[in-house]
């Protein structure tokens, strides 16, 4: 399993499919978490102050701080989960974060699909619309976040669990952190494999 992941990591590091992202490092390494994780969290893309700078998903920015609060709220640690993104490189526009476009999500979908195949989690938690759309692309589904939030959705290989992203923009305007804590509590229990 680790050899397969190492090959995927090297392939992601050398990927140049997206011209706008070619100079950005792919955030896929041992810093993403445990390859034995039962739960995989999929977010949007590395942020310029977070994973785009630190190389560690959800670390170094306010979204990462909120994610740590939510993870701790359900009694999990980073060492028990795996965290990745729909797009592995930080998309920027004029020096600021931007949403990945459909082509970038499609280009990165093979990396996400292979990551999930390697880890073989019991639960995949998508954080935000972009992440859910990436899973829809892989699964051939059409789930919408506002209709399926905090609902377990059975797929052929894992339980899909769509949630809102913990970014300050979302927690301030769409889904407060207090509600997101309640949503996280509904994640199907699934401890790390030994």
- For the chain, the domains span 2-185
Token pair for residue 184?
């996280």
Q: What is the pLDDT of residue 193?
A: 45
Query: Which residues, given as ranges, of the chain have pLDDT below 50?
Result: 192-194
| CA nearest neighbour of 180 among 150, 152, 157, 158 | 150
Q: What is the pLDDT of residue 194?
A: 41
Q: What is the pLDDT of residue 95?
A: 77
Token pair for residue 45?
């893309």
Class in CATH terms, 2-185: alpha beta
Q: Which residues contact 146 (CB under 8 A, 6 or more apart)?
A: none
**Separation in Å, CA 105 to CA 66, 73, 145, 168, 174:** 24, 30, 17, 23, 23
């Amino acid at each position: 399993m680790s050899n397969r992941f190492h090959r995927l990591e090297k392939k992601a590091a050398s990927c140049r499919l997206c011209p706008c992202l070619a100079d950005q490092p792919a955030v896929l390494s041992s810093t993403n978490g445990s390859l034995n994780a039962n739960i995989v969290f999929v977010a949007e893309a590395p942020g310029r102050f977070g994973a785009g700078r630190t190389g560690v998903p959800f670390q170094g920015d306010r979204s990462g701080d909120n994610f740590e609060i939510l993870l701790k709220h359900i009694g999990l640690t980073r060492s028990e989960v795996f965290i990745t993104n729909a797009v592995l490189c930080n998309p920027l526009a004029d020096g600021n974060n931007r949403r990945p476009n459909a082509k970038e999500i499609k280009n990165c979908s093979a990396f996400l699909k292979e990551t999930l195949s390697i880890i073989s989690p019991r639960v995949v938690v998508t954080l935000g619309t972009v992440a859910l759309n990436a899973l829809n692309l892989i699964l051939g589904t059409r789930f919408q976040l506002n209709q399926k939030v905090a609902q377990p959705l059975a797929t052929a290989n894992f339980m899909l669990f769509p949630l809102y992203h913990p970014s300050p923009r979302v927690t301030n305007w769409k889904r407060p952190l207090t509600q997101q804590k309640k949503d996280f509590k509904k994640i199907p229990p699934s401890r790390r494999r030994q």
